[in-house]
């Protein structure tokens, strides 16, 4: 069943108004296992509206038109539909009665502009809008159910639930149900995932539609099947996928990396502390962006200068002089100092060169060292992230959170990330 | 000149991803006094993409296609364009060279999936994308300039400014006639700005088009005039506007709040330290997200628990017991402790109830105290931000940065923000 959307309004074209209606109806259509087919947006232009209605009605089973129902001169939907389906505008008695009642209830006097809203194509029936003066209206044209709906979200949204979805269901005799499974992956690129699937699962079944969505720093993998008979197949292949990518899978549904980390810490009853230089507090703020983080986090230290690495975390001055702040020795000492100061169970420390300046041949912009672990068992690792400052900080933060997640869950921290993986495979 | 947009991606149709790209390009087109003509959105469906390209190219002077450039099987734009304009897919040497360079810089090995991204319609030239692996590409078909662009906003947006607008200008013989002035405002809502303009400037000239773009936490105000003869008028009214909103203006062009703060500190030769509870490191990471922040920032403290407020910052236990962590007394003691520990010139401290739990009748979720200033001259102020945890943290961080900006620049910190302003006016 093909459902198309036609949105109208100059304010949508100019970018001054962000359209939330189409995402809303798309989410609602999921309940019927439907996804919109075409969405088209045009300004207040009668001839373009007419041709768009005809074009979309010709290729769709349902056409939802949104906007242009108001009382002003730039509200053209009724006029355009009248032309598109060749059905003259006439006073609609139901629309008039509803509007009269609406105005009376509010103590309004109906104006000429309001009366315009009761002039609808003769072929149309109204769709009730208890929340505004603009009635919706609908007709069937060449087997396409056309529904005109108000652009105001507070009027549109209840109309979707109360009328649009039931009308679609009725028009389309709907039954088939889809199953969606979602996994969230950290540490493999979109193309790396695709290549691996091609290589490892050459027999991937066509019934299980695989989709990737980049939601930095993670990638969401979606497994979609249509029809109850494929429910088991969906589970089976999602499980196979999860088994293969094992600890790169941070969770299901919409889990965030910070959320997965907090959850792991909660499950093990552990607390974490942070000692950050180049990420400047992003790891701490990632952890504390999650509700309930006070269970797992008491304190973090942003030690940007060498002086403060020594003063707050007790990193020896001669260590910094000998090895530099961006070094294995320095991050290990930072982690040890943070554990001592905070009494947390686990520390994560990080020091790198975010750029754009400050690099050298030996230690270029993009180099980052991190250390993590419990007192007396600190591990360290370096990464090279040659990207802009913002991307560097975001990626370093994500890698640090994943290191702690792995450490806490007893998973290997000696894993390949992103490019490294591709190089070795 | 008719400019149409074709957006592609199942994630756009399903409502899982909100499209911000089309509003962005629409705003940018205003600089050329242009408004998009048709916007069409379709899923990953080759035949629908082909017919949509042909349909839109036939009625438009420019067609911008967004999305579907990635390395996976559901990225269909090159294939669809190849069919639509009857130009076979071939290895594009420029695309290959750019991708090779991109991969080498990051230490990636190019995979089969990546190589797919270098197979473009023979008629196309590339459009450089320094921020990702997906090159843009363009051709002219039946007098319509077709440009294919990446869906990732951080890649799309710079491409619009650097390539798409110049290419449109060139294709349409558009003289750069318009003057754009941009101010960035913090602390007043969009409707507050609009209401104030209506009230204070009833004689606002029609030639100076005023536009607002919300770029949380700031609002960009744009003054656009078309024609050199209005250049002076543009300056004049932008200056009037700036004079009226005075210290709510954080700067011109694309300045960020964190950037304005760092700049103010640099200008005055001052350093800042942070003592954060409810914002968990966001203020520190905001400051250090700016290049050169080591000049103004040495250290920050995330003291999430009461114990650590005492241990690291020396906040007296009985003070916390008597007044609670979310109190004027507590944030003042935190700021004093941070100054002492870091030897910075100015401190900002913050403690609040981010929620969703932890509130009480006396101290509800959304209450936040902050203190700022130099040793012996600490001021404090409370805000009530009854919103979700994420918005609470983001807003509190922005308010804190603005307080320090004002303090450093010698501006009043006793100003109205957001709703307070509206209530009083």
Locate the domains of chain A by residue range.
Answer: 3-172, 178-252, 257-424
For residue A422, the SS3 value is: helix
**Disruptive mutation site among A275, A284, A390, A420 for chain B (greatest number of B CBs within 10 Å):** A284
Task: Please state, in angstroms and rounded to a whole number, the distance separating the CA atoms of residues A343 and A69.
Answer: 63
**Disruptive mutation site among B2, B13, B356 for chain A (greatest number of A CBs within 10 Å):** B13
pTM of the predicted model as reported, rounded to 2 decimal places: 0.76
Per-position pLDDT tens, chain B of length 425 = 999 999 999 888 987 777 889 989 998 898 788 889 999 999 999 999 999 999 999 999 999 999 999 888 889 999 999 999 999 999 999 999 998 888 887 777 788 888 889 999 999 999 999 888 889 999 999 999 999 999 998 899 999 999 999 999 999 877 656 788 999 999 997 777 888 888 899 999 999 988 877 777 898 898 988 888 999 999 999 999 999 999 999 999 889 999 999 999 999 999 999 999 999 999 999 999 999 999 999 999 999 999 999 999 999 999 999 999 999 999 999 999 999 999 999 999 999 999 899 999 999 999 999 999 999 999 999 999 988 899 899 999 999 999 999 999 999 999 988 754 333 32
Evaluated on CA atoms A289, A292, A296, A302, the torsion sign reads positive
Q: B15 contacts in A (CB within 8 Å)?
A: 22-27, 30
Task: Given the cut 0.85, state whether the ipTM is greater than it.
Answer: no
- Tokens at residue B178, please? 């318009």
Asked if the Cβ–Cβ distance from A284 to B293 is below 8 Å, we say no
Task: Please state, in angstroms and rounded to a whole number, the distance separating the CA atoms of residues A407 and A264.
Answer: 10
Query: Hey, which residues 298-327 in chain A have their CB within 8 Å of chain B?
Result: 298-305, 307-308, 311-312
**Spans of chain A, pLDDT less than 70:** 106-108, 175-177, 419-425
Task: Please state, in angstroms and rounded to a whole number, the distance separating the CA atoms of residues A15 and A10.
Answer: 9
- Identify the bridge partners of residue A369 per DSSP, sorted by sequence position: A351, A382
Question: Parallel, antiparallel, or unpaired for β A297-303 and A272-276?
Answer: parallel
Q: A296 contacts in B (CB within 8 Å)?
A: none
- Tokens at residue B322, please? 């008597």
Q: Name the residue facing B299 among A20, A214, A308 (closest C-beta).
A: A308
Q: What one-character DSSP code corresponds to residue B362?
A: S
CATH class given for the domain over B178-252: alpha beta
Contact between A146 and A84 under an 8 Å Cβ cutoff? The reply is no
Which H or E run includes A6? strand A3-8
Q: What is the CATH T-level fold of the domain A3-172, as seen in this structure?
A: Molybdenum Cofactor Biosythetic Enzyme; Chain A (3.40.980)
- Identify the bridge partners of residue B302 per DSSP, sorted by sequence position: A300, B276
Tell the residue number behind the tokens 């109204």, with chain if given.
A126
Q: What one-character DSSP code corresponds to residue A359?
A: -
- The answer to whether B222 faces chain A, any CB pair under 8 Å, is no
CB atoms within 10 A of CB A137: 25
Q: Which of A417, A117, A254, A410 is nearest to B16 (CA)?
A: A254
Its CATH architecture, for the domain B257-424, is Alpha-Beta Complex (3.90)
Q: Name the residue facing A422 among B37, B43, B108 (closest C-beta).
A: B108
Asked if the Cβ–Cβ distance from B14 to A22 is below 8 Å, we say no
For residue B250, the SS3 value is: strand
- The answer to whether A205 faces chain B, any CB pair under 8 Å, is no
Q: What is the pLDDT of residue B176?
A: 59
- The answer to whether B46 faces chain A, any CB pair under 8 Å, is no
pLDDT digits (tens, 9 = 90+) for B101-147: 888 877 777 888 888 899 999 999 999 998 888 899 999 999 999 99
Q: Which of B219, B347, B329, B374 is nearest to B283 (CA)?
A: B347
Helix-strand-coil split of chain A, %, nearest 5: 45, 25, 30
Q: Do domains A178-252 and A257-424 have the same CATH topology?
A: no
**What strands lie across the sheet with B367-374, from one edge to the other?**
A377-384, A367-374, A346-352, A272-276, A297-303, B297-303, B272-276, B346-352, B367-374, B377-384
Contact between A69 and A36 under an 8 Å Cβ cutoff? The reply is no
């Amino acid at each position: 069943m093909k459902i198309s959307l036609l949105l109208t309004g100059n304010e949508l074209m100019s970018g001054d108004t962000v359209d939330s209606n189409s995402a809303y109806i798309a989410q609602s259509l999921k309940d019927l296992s439907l996804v919109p087919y075409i969405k088209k947006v045009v300004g207040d232009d009668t001839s373009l509206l007419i041709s768009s209605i005809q074009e979309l009605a010709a290729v769709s089973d349902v056409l939802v038109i949104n906007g242009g129902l108001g009382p002003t001169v730039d509200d053209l939907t009724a006029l355009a539909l009248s032309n598109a389906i060749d059905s003259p505008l006439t006073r609609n008695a139901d629309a008039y009665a509803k509007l009269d009642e609406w105005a009376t209830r509010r103590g309004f006097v109906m104006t000429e502009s309001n009366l315009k809203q009761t002039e609808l194509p003769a072929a149309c029936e109204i769709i009730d809008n208890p929340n505004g003066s603009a009635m919706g209206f609908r007709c069937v044209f060449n087997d396409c159910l056309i529904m005109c709906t108000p652009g105001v979200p507070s009027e549109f949204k209840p109309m979707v639930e109360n009328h649009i979805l039931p009308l679609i269901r009725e028009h389309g005799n709907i039954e088939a149900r889809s199953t969606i499974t979602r996994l969230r992956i950290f540490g493999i690129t979109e193309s790396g995932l695709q290549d691996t699937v091609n290589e490892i699962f050459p027999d991937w079944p066509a019934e299980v539609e695989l989709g990737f969505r980049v939601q930095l720093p993670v990638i969401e993998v979606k497994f979609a099947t249509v029809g109850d008979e494929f429910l088991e197949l969906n589970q089976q292949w999602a499980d196979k996928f999860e088994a293969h990518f094992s600890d790169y899978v941070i969770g299901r549904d919409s889990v965030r990396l910070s959320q997965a980390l907090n959850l792991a810490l909660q499950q093990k009853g552990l607390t974490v502390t942070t000692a950050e230089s180049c990420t400047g507090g992003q790891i701490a703020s990632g952890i504390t962006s999650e509700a309930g983080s006070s269970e797992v986090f008491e304190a973090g230290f942003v030690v940007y200068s060498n002086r403060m690495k020594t003063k707050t975390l007790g990193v020896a001055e001669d260590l910094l002089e000998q090895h530099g702040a961006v070094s294995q020795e320095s991050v290990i000492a930072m982690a040890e100092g943070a554990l001592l100061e905070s009494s947390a169970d686990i520390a994560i420390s990080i020091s790198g060169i975010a750029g754009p300046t400050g690099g050298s041949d030996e230690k270029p912009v993009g180099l980052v060292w991190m250390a993590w672990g419990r007192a007396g068992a600190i591990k360290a690792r370096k990464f090279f992230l040659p990207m802009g400052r913002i991307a560097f900080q975001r990626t370093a933060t994500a890698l640090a959170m994943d290191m702690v997640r792995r450490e806490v869950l007893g998973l290997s921290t000696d894993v390949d990330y992103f490019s490294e993986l591709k190089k070795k495979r």
